[in-house]
Structure formats: structure tokens, C-alpha cells
Amino acid sequence: MQITINRDGQNYGPYTVEQLQQMLQAGRAKLTDLANYEGAAEWVPLSQIPGVTQAQSTPAAAPIDADTYVPTGQHEHEFRIECKPDFSFLTVQVPASQTLKVEASAMATMSTNMVMKTKMKGGLSRFLGGENIFINEFTAQAGPAEIGIAPGSPGDMDHVFMDGSSEIFLQSSAYVASSMNVDVDSKWQGFKGFFSGEGLFLLRCTGQGDLWFNTYGAMIEVPVDGNYVVDTSHVVAFTSGLEYNVESVGGLKSLFLSGEGLVCRFHGQGKVWIQTRHPMAFANWAYPFRPQQNN
């Protein structure tokens, strides 16, 4: 049986049932695509073609690519993260009249019924101090809406469901998006100063709901039980329950000569997320390629 499919007015195929099953598995065809086979009077959704749905009913999960992440554990909103780990891109389904908090300028695509409001966290003084984070609020009006979110840096992304019992500390540029009931506190000063010299400050995330954050480069999740050391510029996030000090690696000689700069020594029990690259190292590498000033 040769089947032609039609999506958005465009015909594709014809394909055999086996080919279509493979395409469904790979996510290249959808059960909602219109399909027509020779001798059939009209176009029907692909799900109604005999032989196609049976194969689909066995694996419960929707067909996804290997580099796509859909939540398997607890979550508030339906979402998927595609093109992991190098070019992670987040798509969230927001139910009618609900709101999602998103890092400013990270919105790439959205439904037309999504309405945006800009919130400045921290106020003007912190804005002038270069320590601000703008968060936009996207509300789905008159029905559910979808939003596609692309962070500034190419890299990996992770999702954490916060159950209200613990806190997550985020390096500020790592914040991507969160549920309304997750409070993102940039005024909080607790660990500030520890990161001096690295140009970083931390956000404290509390409350209940989804939290998404990203890295430059790939992300590694390290469970800490006891004691673990991370280069300060590679820290992305960590859970409450971990205490830390900033120090140099090795002895005094290593401080100046090892090329490792400062490190965070975490202790306690929890999780640390680290990034395999960092923007400052890339900027330093690019420096010699800058043109010379003409005087």
C-alpha cells in the first residue's frame, strides 16, 4: 500500500506503511498529518490508516529524537528541550491564563495569544551596577499557548522541578525560565563577593514549580557528598545543603602559576551543575584577533 501524506498543503511521498512507521518513530511524520492511499476517497489523519496506529500503540511515549528531552519525572508545564547538548532550545506549553517567567530577550517563537509584560528584578540601582536581570512574563490569553525559548549562549539546558523543600542557587546568566511560583531573588546578597573578579553573582531560586537553566558548552551534573572543587567560572548551579569557600588550588605557587584561577570548594550533600566551556576563556582566546587601533 502506497500512502501519500499532506502537511500544510504540501504533499509528501508516497511511502509504504513501514517507512511511515519509521518516520513516526523519528518524529518526521505526525499522527495528525493527513494521509491518502490509492483507492481511498478522501484524506484522513495518518492515525486512521490501518497498520500505522498499531505500531504506534505499543511504545507509550511519543516519538522523540535522541537529542530531545521530554520530562519523565515531576513537572508543572509540558515542555521539551531539543538539540541537546550543543544548541539546546526549550519549548513550553502554557495552559490558558497561566504565566511563565522567561529571561529577557530569550523568547524566540510564540503563539499569537501570548502576551508579554516586562519586569525588572532588583531595581534601578542594581541595573546601574550591572547586576540586573530582566525577567519577562508571558501569559497565555484566551486559550493555551506555546513559547519557544533560546538562551543567548549555545550549549546545554537542564530542568529541575522544585518541590518547595529546597533552594537552588544559579549563576545569573544561567537562568532561562521558571514557573510563576518559583521566586527568583537577585537582591539576595548571601554569597556575593565570593565571586568577585569573575564578574558573577548568584540568583536564589525558591518556591514550587519548574526551573530551567542553561550553560555555555555541555552540562555535567555532579552529586556531591563530602567535598568537591569546581573552577568558579565553571559553576552553573548548586542545591542548598552545600556550603562553599572560594580558594586557590594547591599552594601559593599554584595560585599565581597554575592558570586555574580561583575555585569553589563545596562541602555538604547536594548537587552541583558545571559547564564544560566558559565565555571568558573564549573571549580571551579571541582577544589577539582584534584589529589594532589606528592612531
Partner 1 sequence: MQIDITHRPGNSAAKVSLQAGESITAEGGAMIAMSGHMQVETTTHKKGEGSVLGALKRMVTGESFFINHFTPAGAPGEVFFGTALSGDMMEYNLNGPGLMVQGGSYVASAPTVNMDIQWQGFGKALFSGESMFLIHLSGSGPVILNSFGAVYPIQVNGDYIVDTGHIVAFEESLTYEVSKVGKSWISSFLGGEGLVCKFRGQGTVWCQSHNAGSFGTALGPSLKPR
Is 213 a residue that touches partner 1 (CB under 8 A)?
no
Question: Do residues 130 and 154 lie in contact, with contact meaning Cβ atoms separated by under 8 Å?
Answer: no
Is 257 a residue that touches partner 1 (CB under 8 A)?
yes
Q: CB burial class (10 A; 0-12, 13-18, 19+) of residue 263? A: buried
Q: Which stretch binds partner 1 (CB under 8 A): 2-10, 13-21, 93-101, 217-225?
A: 217-225
Helices (H), 199-278: 252-257
50 cis-preceded (ω within 30 degrees of 0): no
Is 66 a residue that touches partner 1 (CB under 8 A)?
no
Strand partners, 147: 92, 110
Q: What angle do CA 123, 147, 184 make, to 5 degrees?
A: 30
Is 120 a residue that touches partner 1 (CB under 8 A)?
no
Distance CA 114, CA 146 (A): 8
> Of the candidates 155, 162, 170, 204, which one interacts with partner 1 according to CB under 8 A?
155
Binding mask 69-88 for partner 1 (x = CB under 8 A): ----------------xx--
Q: CB burial class (10 A; 0-12, 13-18, 19+) of residue 193? A: exposed
Binding mask 121-140 for partner 1 (x = CB under 8 A): --------------------
Q: Which stretch binds partner 1 (CB under 8 A): 51-59, 116-124, 199-207, 252-260?
A: 252-260
**Contacting partner 1 within 229-248 (CB under 8 A):** 229-231, 234
Give the number of other Cβ atoms within 10 Å of residue 154's Cβ.
17
> Of the candidates 226, 242, 243, 270, which one interacts with partner 1 according to CB under 8 A?
226
**Grid cell listed for 246:** 572560594
Is 150 a residue that touches partner 1 (CB under 8 A)?
no
Residues 6+ apart with CB under 8 A from 145: 93, 94, 96, 110, 111, 113, 114, 138
Smaller CB distance to partner 1: residue 1 or 281? Answer: 281
**Grid cell listed for 185:** 531573588
Minimum CB separation of residue 244 from partner 1 in Å reads: 11
Contacting residues toward partner 1, per CB under 8 A: 85-86, 155-156, 217-218, 220, 222, 226-231, 234, 249-251, 253-254, 257-261, 265-267, 272, 274-277, 281-282, 284-294
